[in-house]
Amino acid sequence: MTKDYHNFINGTFGKQASTALLEVLNPATNETIGHVPNSSRAEVDAAVAAAKEAQTGWERLPPIHRAGYLRKISKKVRDNKERLAELITREQGKVLGLAQVEVDFTADYIDYMAEWARRIEGEVITSDRPNETILLLRKAVGVIAGILPWNFPFFLIARKLAPALVAGNTIVIKPSEETPLNAFAFAELVAECDLPPGVFNLVGGSRETGAALAGHRDVNLVSFTGSVGTGVHIMRAAAENLTRVNLELGGKAPAIVLASADLNLAANAVYQSRILNSGQVCNCAERVYVERPVLQAFTDKVVALMKSTTYGDPLKDRSVSMGPLVSAAQLAKVASAVELARTQGAQLALGGKIADRGGGNHYEPTVLVDCNHDMEIMRTETFGPVLPIQAIDSLDEGIRYANDSEYGLTSSIFSNDLNAVMHACRELKFGETYVNREHFEAMQGFHAGRRKSGIGGADGKHGLYEYMETQVVYLQTK
């Protein structure tokens, strides 16, 4: 059964007869499951105009009132958890349990950001003049364009919408054309919450729609999560109006495993990185540097775990631990990366082929050994269930290889030697470093990358303030 959705602009769903449609496929079967608008520039203009019109009144509301609307939305999300999770699985391919976690985390994140309504702070600054008080105030940026990725499409709505709204902004969301249905289902829930018209708007569309949003003269901040290439295009479009950007882009996260590590813990954490969402997570470990004395033992443990992975259509067999890749294009990209690694000298310890599951975009869990740092598989984001392993002879060698990357989002170190751990944390040049645990951030942290992994960040107090700007008031009295 398929469903056609319509844009949500200024508080209503409107059917625009002139709008072309985008087909949405189930990646486990490649069957059509729905259609969304491929929005024109005129529809983008209408959504931005609605957001601009609503913004002043929304910002004038006390923050705690804005937070009340967010809590209504989070309750709707929780009340519809099972339906939303199944829709996410159907269009994105992640296993149902992970989709349920995504829905729960989304609701929790909205509530967490709502709690900041009473915690937004300014400053009182000492003046050089008698009887003058200098105040630093925090105010909303204005209209936000939120452009979403396909790997955690539902959560990323909240990551952009919740801080934006509690800070007094209004927003126009454009979901990925690969996974837009969950965003339209979210809009249906928002429509039941009496949110003032124009505060939240949703337009479907392709890259051209995203470009129209990023280059719009009335957008004050573009918040984008996705690939480096698309991030560059968005930054160029935003530059025309000197619009500020917040970009979370790609990653090639290194994990360093030392001889002093708990190898069972390290192998399981790295394994989870490679099968979580079929390896399609920008902050999960994508390359591993292992000290030579424990190289074989670690490799054997990871191969055994990867070999035990069950995969297929997560709605037909809810016991599988991994679903398909999101698209045929992504499947081809992963297969090509593995073949290139083999031509460059990497050896297959496991997998290495497109898997036949009666249709869909399935790839075998794959382990590559005898890798070296010059190989593309160690340098370019793969985004699939593929683990390349390279031997190192010291921690400093591992740090040198880890830092030699155009990316700088996340990293990890596995060791029971506190001195080694602290040395790594001082030297690793990444926005996040995980010690003896899996790569996954907390909502109260600050998820931010270096180099080509992005500009700005998300989550916590610092993520909230990404959606605010300052005004300094010089208050002279007698």
Annotated domain spans of the chain: 3-249+453-476, 253-442
Confidence band for 90, pLDDT divided at 50, 70 and 90 = very high
Which pLDDT value is given to residue 144?
A: 97
Both tokens of 154, joined, read 């539902």
pLDDT, tens only, 383-440? 899 999 999 999 999 999 999 999 999 999 999 999 999 999 999 999 999 999 888 8
Beta bridge partners, 365, equal none
In words, the CATH class of domain 3-249+453-476 is: alpha beta
Domains 3-249+453-476 and 253-442 agree in fold: no
DSSP β-bridge partners for residue 412: 255, 434
Residue of 178, 248, 291, 381 with catalytic role: 248
Q: What is the pLDDT of residue 366?
A: 95
pLDDT digits (tens, 9 = 90+) for 297-325: 999 999 999 999 999 999 998 899 999 99
Q: What is the pLDDT of residues 326-383, one digit of tens each?
A: 999 999 999 999 999 999 999 999 999 999 888 889 999 999 999 999 999 999 999 8
Residue 364 annotated to the active site: no
Please tell me the least confidently modeled range out of 1-15, 63-77, 124-138.
Answer: 1-15
pTM for the predicted model, two decimal places: 0.92
Rounded alpha-carbon distances, angstroms, from residue 112 to 168, 171, 224, 257: 16, 19, 21, 34
The answer to whether residue 18 scores a pLDDT higher than 60 is no
At the topology level of CATH, where does 253-442 sit? Answer: Aldehyde Dehydrogenase; Chain A, domain 2 (3.40.309)
CA separation, residue 154 to residues 87, 102, 116, 312, 444 (Å): 10, 7, 21, 22, 19
